[in-house]
């Protein structure tokens, strides 16, 4: 009568998983002045809000979200990313007819292949979980970003209208209601 031997294979692997998500949008900046002047007004408004300038691109990172604005095209990219290190342990066992012979070797190789598949699947699941977390975080921050960028566009439009009015003649009166987001400029031509 033959004896069965239990063959056990354990594997521990460390992985760094990475996830990112982003959204692109366009600011609706009215072309009140020539494009270069509008881009400069937009850059100034963003700098006053803590954005760092890199040529015509301004960016800021807050709450794990990076906001980047290309001032010449008024294009916005809002991105979130995360990385984490994870250690995955897996174990598989099966029976073999010998403890160190050819059958045990075949069983051990099959178990290693199964473990590799298990670890790959687990890494995929953890990556998907991190991706969902990053996407949720981005979605949560988008409303605040949208409100802030709307305020920036409004202030740029107000500045551009004031500049344009000054070019047309002498400004006699400016009435601004920030809550109603209205602006009245009386110009003497």
pTM for the predicted model, two decimal places = 0.75
Q: What is the dihedral of CA 46, 50, 54, 60, to 10 degrees?
A: -100
pLDDT digits 0-9 by tens, 28-47? 999 989 999 999 999 999 99
Burial of residue 137, with CB atoms counted within 10 A of its CB: 0-12 exposed, 13-18 middle, 19 or more buried: middle
Q: What is the dihedral of CA 57, 48, 175, 40, to 10 degrees?
A: -30
pLDDT digits 0-9 by tens, 123-161? 999 999 999 999 999 999 998 899 999 999 999 998 988
Is the four-CA dihedral 152, 153, 157, 160 of positive or negative sign?
Answer: positive
């Amino acid at each position: 009568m033959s004896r069965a031997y239990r063959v056990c294979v354990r594997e521990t692997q460390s992985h760094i998983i990475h996830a990112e998500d982003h959204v692109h949008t366009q600011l609706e900046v009215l072309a009140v002045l020539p494009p270069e002047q509008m881009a400069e007004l937009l850059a100034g408004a963003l700098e006053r809000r803590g954005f760092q300038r890199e040529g015509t691109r301004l960016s800021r990172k807050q709450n794990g979200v990076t906001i980047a604005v290309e001032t010449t095209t008024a294009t916005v990219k809002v991105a979130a990313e995360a990385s984490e290190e994870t250690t995955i342990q897996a174990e598989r066992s099966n029976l073999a007819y010998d403890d160190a012979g050819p059958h045990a070797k075949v069983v051990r190789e099959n178990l290693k292949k199964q473990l590799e598949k298990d670890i790959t699947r687990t890494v995929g699941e953890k990556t998907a979980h991190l991706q969902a977390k990053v996407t949720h975080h981005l979605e949560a921050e988008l409303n605040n970003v949208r409100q802030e960028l709307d305020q920036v566009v409004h202030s740029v439009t107000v500045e551009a209208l004031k500049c344009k009015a000054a070019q047309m003649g002498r400004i006699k009166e400016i009435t601004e209601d920030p809550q109603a987001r209205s602006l009245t400029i009386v110009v003497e031509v």
